Structure 1
Amino acid sequence: MADVASETITVAVVAATFLVAGLVKGVTGMGLPTVAMGVLGSVLSPLAAAALLLVPSFVTNVWQLAAGPRLRPLAVRLWPMMAAIVVGTLAGSAVLARGDARLTTAGLGAALVLYAVYTLAARQPRVPPRHERWLSPAVGFATGVVTGGTGVFVMPAVPYLQALDLEKDDLVQALGLSFTLSTLALGAGLAAHDAVRPADLALSALAVAPALAGMAAGQLIRRRISPGTFRRWFLVCLMLLGLDMTVRAFP
C-alpha cells in the first residue's frame, strides 16, 4: 500500500509540474524543461528528472515550432546554430549521465538571473547581422554543452535569439526549433550512455497531456498581451527560473 501511495503521489507531482511548466511555455515560448527540472529535481535525481521531460518537451516543442508562421526562413537563417546545438548536446550529455549536475545547474541559474536583471534595467542588446555567421555556431555549441550538462535548453540560446530582434511570433518559433533539436539530441545522448529507463519514458509519456493543456492556456494568454508586456514577462520569468535553479542546486 505504501508503494502504491508513493507512486500515486509521484504521478500527481509530475502531472502538476508539467501543467505549470506548459503554462509558462505557452506564455513565454520557453521554460518547460527549466520548471520541470527545478521542481522534479527536488524529489528525483537530475538524471531521472531529465528523462521525464523528454517526451512532453519534444511534443510541446514540435507544437510550438509548427504553430509559427515562418519556419523555412528561420531554419535557413539559424541552421549553423542548430547544428552546433546538436553537436554540443551530444558532447555534454556525459555530464548529466554521471548524475551530478549541481554546479553546472547553479551556474546556469546565476547566468539567467544576471542576464534578465541587466536586460530589464538596460537596453536590449542587439547582434549585428554581420556577426551572426560566426556567433551563431559558437552560441549553439555552448547551448548544447549546457543542455547536455543540466537538461535545460535556455542558455545562451534564449538571450542570443532575443538579441536578434525577432518579432514576437518569430522568436517563439525560433525557440521551438532550438528546443526541439535540443530535446532530440539530449535523448540521443542519454540513450548512448544507457541513462534512460523504460519506466521513466512511460511516465514521461503520461506527462504530455497536462503539458499540452498548460501550453494551450498559456498561448491564449500570450495572444492577449502587447509586445512590450510580453518582453517584460519573458525576462521576469527568466529571472525567476534562474533564481529557482540556483537555490535548488544548494539545498
Structure 2
Amino acid sequence: MNIFVDFYQNLGLALTILVIATFAIAGTVKGVIGLGLPTVAMGLLGLAMAPAQAAALLIIPATLTNLWQLAFGGHLRALVKRLWPMLLAIFLGSGIGTSWIGMAGGHWVVRGLGAALLLYALSGLWLPPLRVSHRHEAWLGPLCGAITGIITAATGVFVIPAVPYLQALGLRRDELVQALGLAFTVSTLALAAGLLWRGALGGGELSASLLALIPALLGMWLGQWLRLRISAVLFKRVFFIGLGALGAHLLISG
C-alpha cells in the first residue's frame, strides 16, 4: 500500500488526475469499438510522462480487459491454431525490440509513438478494406507479428500492423473481436516482460496500474452503453481523427 501511495505522491495531483481521466477515456473508446485502450492511454499519457512509465501504468488494465475480450466467442482454440505463428512472432519481435531499441525515453521515442499513432489513424480513415489470401498467411502473419512486437517494445502501441492484418483475414465479427483480444493479450504480456527486464516495472508501477483499472472498467461500461445509442461508424471516425491529431502533435513536438 505504501508503494502505491508513494507512486502517486511522486506523480503529483495533476498527473494523477490525468491518469484517471486518460483511462476513463480509453476504456470508453474500447467499450464502443472493441479496441483502443492502450493506444489512447499511451497517446495521452505520452504528453506528460516518459513512454516507459506510461506503458507500465497500462499493463493491468490492458491485460484484464483483453482477457475479458478474448474469453467470449467460442473460437479461442481455432484462433490459436490459426494465429499461433503471428502470436509467437509478436513475442519474439518484442524481445528483439526490447534488447535492440527499448523504451528508454528521449525525444525519438516520443516521436516514434506519435508516428505509430498517426499511421494507425490514417490507415483507419483512408485504407480500403484489405483481404489476405489463406495461402499468404504462413509468411505474412509472422512478418506482421514481428513488426508489431518491435513497435510494441519501442512505443507501447501494438495495433500496427496487427489490427489491419487481422481485419484482412475475413473473420466474422465475433471471431475478429476474439482474435483482437488474443493478439492484444500476447502483446501486453510481451510488453510487460520487456519492461520487467529493463527494470521499469516494479511493485510501485503495478500498484499504480491496479488503480488505473477502476476508471478503465468504468469507461468500458460507459462505452458499451454508448454503443447502443450512437453510430459506431461516426464514433470510429471521430476517434481516428482525434488520434491522428494527437499522433501528429507528438511527432512534431517530441
How high is the TM-score relative to the length of structure 1? 0.88
Instruction: Give the match for residue 58 of structure 2.
Output: 53
What SS class does the counterpart of residue 207 from structure 2 fall into? helix
Instruction: Give the match for residue 240 of structure 1.
Output: 242
Q: Distance in 2 between matches of 1:76 and 1:139?
A: 17
Instruction: Give the match for residue 173 of structure 2.
Output: 168
Instruction: Give the match for residue 99 of structure 1.
Output: 105
Is the deviation greater in 187-196 or in 238-247? 238-247
Instruction: Give the match for residue 198 of structure 2.
Output: 193
What SS class does the counterpart of residue 240 from structure 1 fall into? helix
Q: 1:235 to 1:176 in 2, by over 3 A?
A: farther
Gaps in structure 1 of 5+ consecutive residues: none
1:43-86 CA distances to partner (integer Å, 9 max, x unpaired)? 21111111111111111111111133321111111111111111
Is the deviation greater in 23-32 or in 190-199? 190-199
1:142-194 CA distances to partner (integer Å, 9 max, x unpaired)? 10001111001110001111111222222121111111111111110111111
How high is the TM-score relative to the length of structure 2? 0.87
Q: Distance in 2 between matches of 1:214 and 1:87?
A: 32
Instruction: Give the match for residue 29 of structure 1.
Output: 34
Given residue 138 of structure 2, which amino acid in structure 1 is its aligned partner?
Answer: R
1:116 is aligned to 2:118:
no
Q: Distance in 2 between matches of 1:110 and 1:31?
A: 13
Instruction: Give the match for residue 7 of structure 1.
Output: 12
Q: Equivalent residues in 2 for 1:13-92 (5 A)?
A: 13-92=18-97
Q: Distance in 2 between matches of 1:140 and 1:4?
A: 38
Q: Distance in 1 between matches of 2:167 and 2:40?
A: 20
Root-mean-square deviation (CA, aligned residues, Å) is: 2.2
1:218-249 CA distances to partner (integer Å, 9 max, x unpaired)? 23444667xxx646644653453233123123
Of 184, 187, 199 in structure 1, the residue corresponding to residue 189 of structure 2 is 184
Gaps in structure 2 of 5+ consecutive residues: 1-7
Given residue 182 of structure 1, which amino acid in structure 2 is its aligned partner?
Answer: S
Instruction: Give the match for residue 219 of structure 1.
Output: 224
**Contact 1:26–1:214 (Cα < 8 Å) also in 2:** yes
Percent of residue pairs identical:
46
Given residue 246 of structure 1, which amino acid in structure 2 is its aligned partner?
Answer: A
Q: Residue 5 of structure 1: CA displacement?
A: 10
1:12-38 CA distances to partner (integer Å, 9 max, x unpaired)? 221111011011111122111111111
Q: 1:143 to 1:235 in 2, by over 3 A?
A: farther
Q: 1:235 to 1:178 in 2, by over 3 A?
A: farther
What SS class does the counterpart of residue 127 from structure 1 fall into? coil
**Contact 2:31–2:224 (Cα < 8 Å) also in 1:** yes
Q: How many residue pairs were aligned? A: 243
What SS class does the counterpart of residue 97 from structure 1 fall into? coil
